[in-house]
Amino acid sequence: MKKQLNVGMIGYNFMGKAHSNAWRQVGRFFDLPADLTLKTVCGRNPKKTATAAAQLGWAGTCTDWRQVIDDPEIDIVDITTPNNTHAPIALAAAAAGKAVLCEKPLGMSVPECEQMTAAVEKAGVVNMVCHNYRRVPAVALAKRMIERGDLGERIYHYRARYAQEWIMDPNFPLVWRLRADVAGSGTHGDIDAHIIDLGRYLVGEVKEVCGLMETFIKERPVLADTGAELTARAGQQMGAVTVDDAVSWIGRFENGAIANLEATRFAAGRKNQVTFEINGSKGTLAFDLEDMNRLRFYSNADPADARGFRDILVTEAEHPYVGSWWPAGHVIGYEHTFVHTFAEFVTAVVNGKSVHPTFADGLATERILSAIQESAQTRQWVTLC
């Protein structure tokens, strides 16, 4: 008989919608060792929370996240709230013996992430940071190819870029992601964290970094309301932007590979582009989220007169995760990456053993983020401990 797991989710906006869809769909497409009930969604506004519950499929609501923690029937706590609330919720969930899934970045600082990691490890609860891009089938295939040696024994370069445009308008209001007291950092912690995590996943741990950060628009109109981020209305007063708009950095992995990464919210025409290229001694892999079902591969092992980048359409049943979806050639999308993530998380909860990326992974990424920020402030290279 399958185990029954009850889920409580805190937060219901953008990531809450993506998570809710995954919780609803995962058991329909993956053979899970447990049945799931979407028991409670929590938000501060009672009316909006009730509307979200009806839209997203949650059985009940509350307005105080502590009610989710205190509910003995809830087994999994899913945190999709602004960054400054991740730590108190996760610490309380761990103390209550509940499995914890937390959106990235894990916390606001290295000490906070250390505290969160120590708490889940002491409590022995299953934990995960929701870096969903690890479970894009093409990215998981890249990992498989690197591990079996398709790029050779040595990796030379990891180049990655995460580019968006959504705050280029100087009249766009001062939402929480633009305030250091709530977000911790801006583009750096929000999207640079993703490509750092992919670098750690695909290439290895980072040894040293040298970075620069820039805030292009120093002041913005304060919020006129508390609507969804992308549709928030600007007021008349101005407030200071206290986070970065863009970050670029170079570095070196422990295995000697060179890192070159950029993250920006000021790339006109780029809605949500994530790209990387990995060069090894025997070949190259390249990926672009805007064409997420395709992985490009160049191999030095091909005959000299037939070398060139080949396109691998990652839609075969033999490819990671794809066998649970559609016949070959039928592509999947962004939302499926969360389903893949939750399928592995649920299995981990039942087995009592966490799968990557864990809170320890979130801490490792936070240390890199912090080192880059230190480098940008001091204009010096920073070596990670």
Do 239 and 340 sit in the same domain of this protein? yes
Tokens of 113: 């992430």
Residue 1 pLDDT > 70: no
Q: How confident is the model at residue 297 (pLDDT cuts 50, 70, 90)?
A: very high
Rounded average pLDDT over 63-91: 98
Element (H, E) at 209: strand 206-214
Rounded average pLDDT over 317-340: 97
Do 175 and 116 sit in the same domain of this protein? no
List, for residues 334-381, the tens digit of each pLDDT value. 999 999 999 999 999 999 999 999 999 999 999 999 999 999 999 999
Mean pLDDT of the chain: 96
Asked if residue 151 lies in contact with residue 45, where contact means CB atoms within 8 angstroms, the answer is no
Do 126 and 142 sit in the same domain of this protein? no
Q: Which of 133, 149, 177 is the last residue of a domain?
A: 133
Residue 168 pLDDT > 80: yes
Torsion of CA 147, 150, 156, 159, to 10 degrees: -80
277 has which bridge partners? 159, 286
Q: Which of 133, 163, 197 is the last residue of a domain?
A: 133
pLDDT of residue 127: 98
Do 126 and 258 sit in the same domain of this protein? no
> What Å distances lie between residue 367 and 287, 378, 385, CA to CA?
26, 16, 9
Do 185 and 47 sit in the same domain of this protein? no
Do 124 and 143 sit in the same domain of this protein? no
Asked if residue 130 lies in contact with residue 106, where contact means CB atoms within 8 angstroms, the answer is no
Residue entry with tokens 């180049």: 159
DSSP state of 103: P
> DSSP string spanning 222-266?
EESS---GGGPPEEEEEEE--S-SEEEEEEEETTS-EEEEEEES-
Of 82, 77, 45, which is closest to residue 61 (Cα–Cα)?
A: 45
Rounded average pLDDT over 111-138: 98
Q: Rounded distance, CA 272 to CA 194, Å?
A: 12
Rg (CA), the chain: 21
99 has which bridge partners? 76
pLDDT of residue 187: 96
pLDDT of residue 222: 93
Q: Per the domain annotation, does 385 fall within a domain?
A: no
pLDDT of residue 226: 56
Residue 203 pLDDT > 90: yes
Range of the domain at 275: 135-355+364-378
Q: Which of 111, 133, 155 is the last residue of a domain?
A: 133
Do 97 and 14 sit in the same domain of this protein? yes
Residue entry with tokens 């409580």: 8
Q: How confident is the model at residue 289 (pLDDT cuts 50, 70, 90)?
A: very high
Do 36 and 183 sit in the same domain of this protein? no
Rounded average pLDDT over 23-35: 97
Element (H, E) at 382: strand 382-383
Q: Rounded distance, CA 193 to CA 215, Å?
A: 17
List, for residues 215-249, the tens digit of each pLDDT value. 999 999 998 765 555 556 666 799 999 999 999 99
pLDDT of residue 223: 85
> DSSP string spanning 116-168?
HHHHHHHHT--EEE--GGGGSHHHHHHHHHHHTTTT-S-EEEEEEEEE--TT-
Provide the number of structural domains found in the chain.
Answer: 2
pLDDT of residue 2: 72
Do 112 and 241 sit in the same domain of this protein? no
pLDDT of residue 261: 98
99-101-103 Cα angle (round to 5): 160
Where are the alpha helices (H) located in the chain, listed in sequence order?
14-29, 46-56, 65-70, 86-95, 110-123, 137-147, 180-183, 187, 193-202, 334-351, 359-378
pLDDT of residue 228: 53
Residue 193 pLDDT > 70: yes
Q: Per the domain annotation, does 384 fall within a domain?
A: no
Rounded average pLDDT over 31-46: 97
